[in-house]
Amino acid sequence: MELAGKHLVLGLTGGIACYKIAELTRLLIKAGATVQIVMTEAATQFITPVTMQALSGRPVYTSQWDARMPNNMPHIDLSREADAIVIAPASTDFMAKLAHGMCDDLLSTLCIARDCPLLVVPAMNRQMWQNPATQRNVGQLRADGVEVLGPDSGSQACGEVGDGRMIEPEAAFEAICAFFQPKILRGQRVLITAGPTFEPLDPVRGITNRSSGKMGFALARAAAQAGADVHLVAGPVSLPTPWGVYREDVQTAQEMHDAVMAATPDADIFIAVAAVADWRVDHVSEQKIKKTGDVLPTFSFVENPDILATVAKLPNPPYCVGFAAESGDLDVHGAEKRKRKNVPLLIGNIGQLTFGRDDNEVVLFEERGTTPLPRAGKQELARTLIVEIAKRAPKTGGPLLS
């Protein structure tokens, strides 16, 4: 589980976005985090401590004078075991307090007495967000090393439209997960292809394959969490775009090729995960092909461009990583394919054991030999692969954090 062993203090302040924190709490708990809820007086007007207690499975604290703490010091004890404090929603007033070091209730006192990182998730009316005082306070919080997540733009509870609404709980969850990942790809630009391609035969039919896109999307997410600037070129899949990733949707191999070639000059690393169709029909019928008695349709095919091999052949290619889903003899095919595509690293797996599944088992093929990795969930495996790729890719861009 992604947040196993992490202890979070989740502080709610007054705002209608408190309803989103029920879902955020559920996501954090599901990912293995321990969540200690602390609420301001105002927050309890929007969602009850009973609800938050039921979701977090722990007693909720709302008062500095809570007699449940044996030493009567909740402001110290609650933050000492925390890996991070997250304030969501963070109201205008609470951010002003934080920026000025004021502490007149349990949550603000806890923040000032903390010895762990602080993340705030603003939620407010657009005019309140744009107010110069709020902008000053946000700038001060950033300068103090506080992570500010959001806000989003869109329609607000008050009926107005603009910047200030809280990011969705899923986005807040993703940002919190990303916060805990080491930034081993900071400053690197990563281009990834994912999913199948779809080669039309006529307006309603086509040829595709069984790639779900899960592995490529998991790699895009892990690369973004590692601090990279990620451009994902995705074939037809029904997967949500990972947080912080720029996504470009394509259908055919030729479209994928064109999108990749346009993006390659800006890429430091290219990871080709897509299961690209090898062939397309040389003539796509404009009308739906009808049954005509005994005569079965025949198609003639032309080969699609090999995107990975084309990029690897460029005069100044990015660091290229290929994938190979084989149906057997992985050792032979993996090594041969890496050489044929002229890439320094190829990640091989057995297709039947991975397509559509949530886990995968891979072998790394390199000039110096092979390295098998243990079977793992695709998200966990993606994080491991990003570590392996970061170790091997030439370093560019900003300073690396370990």
Binding characters for ligand CTP, 175-214, by CB under 6 A (x = yes): ------------------x---------------------
Contacts of 268 (CB under 8 A, 6+ apart): 188, 189, 190, 318, 319, 393, 394, 396, 397
Among 62, 79, 109, 304, binds ligand CTP (CB under 6 A): 304
Per the annotation, the verdict on 320 as an active-site residue is no
Region at 356 (left for phi over 0; alpha for psi -120 to 50; beta for the rest): left
Contact region with ligand CTP (CB under 6 A), list: 150-158, 160-168, 233-241, 300-308: 300-308
> Is 148 or 309 the residue whose CB approaches ligand CTP more closely?
309
235 binds ligand CTP (CB under 6 A): no
DSSP string of 98-152? HHHT---SHHHHHHHT--S-EEEEE---HHHHHSHHHHHHHHHHHHTT-EE---E
> Is 223 or 274 the residue whose CB approaches ligand CTP more closely?
274
Contacts of 22 (CB under 8 A, 6+ apart): 47, 51, 52, 55
Q: Binding residue per annotation — 359?
A: no
Rounded to whole angstroms, the Cα distance separating 289 from 7 reads 60
Contact region with ligand CTP (CB under 6 A), list: 166-174, 318-326, 370-378, 393-401: 318-326
State the alpha helices, DSSP H only, in 203-347: 214-225, 253-263, 307-312, 330-341
308 binds ligand CTP (CB under 6 A): yes
Q: Within 246-285, which residues bind ligand CTP (CB under 6 A)? A: 253, 272, 274, 276, 278
Among 258, 306, 359, 388, binds ligand CTP (CB under 6 A): 306
Contact region with ligand CTP (CB under 6 A), list: 37-45, 65-73, 103-111, 304-312: 304-312
Rounded to whole angstroms, the Cα distance separating 373 from 352 reads 17
Kindly state the number of chain residues that form the binding site for ligand CTP, as judged by CB under 6 A.
16
CA 157, 161, 166, 171 torsion-angle sign: positive
Q: Binding residue per annotation — 337?
A: yes
> Is 226 or 274 the residue whose CB approaches ligand CTP more closely?
274
> Is 110 or 277 the residue whose CB approaches ligand CTP more closely?
277
Rounded to whole angstroms, the Cα distance separating 352 from 389 reads 25
CA 24, 61, 108, 7 torsion-angle sign: negative
Q: Binding residue per annotation — 341?
A: yes
Q: Binding residue per annotation — 395?
A: no
320 binds ligand CTP (CB under 6 A): no
> Is 170 or 326 the residue whose CB approaches ligand CTP more closely?
326
217 binds ligand CTP (CB under 6 A): no
Give burial (CB, 10 Å; 0-12/13-18/19+) of 385. buried
User: How far is Cα of residue 318 from the mean position of the Cα atoms in its chain?
Assistant: 22
Q: Within 14-53, which residues bind ligand CTP (CB under 6 A)? A: none
* The pairing of beta strand 359-360 with beta strand 376-377: antiparallel
Rounded to whole angstroms, the Cα distance separating 159 from 324 reads 51
Rounded to whole angstroms, the Cα distance separating 345 from 364 reads 7
> Is 39 or 267 the residue whose CB approaches ligand CTP more closely?
267
User: How far is Cα of residue 333 from the mean position of the Cα atoms in its chain?
Assistant: 31
Q: Binding residue per annotation — 288?
A: yes
Contact region with ligand CTP (CB under 6 A), list: 67-75, 110-118, 172-180, 319-327: 319-327
322 binds ligand CTP (CB under 6 A): yes
Rounded to whole angstroms, the Cα distance separating 207 from 194 reads 17
Contacts of 72 (CB under 8 A, 6+ apart): 65, 66
Among 129, 198, 319, 323, binds ligand CTP (CB under 6 A): 323
Active site residues: 158
Applying CB under 6 A, the residues found at the interface with ligand CTP are: 193, 253, 272, 274, 276, 278, 304, 306-308, 322-325, 337, 341
The binding site consists of 278, 288, 305-308, 323, 337, 341
Residues flagged as binding site for CTP: 278, 288, 305-308, 323, 337, 341
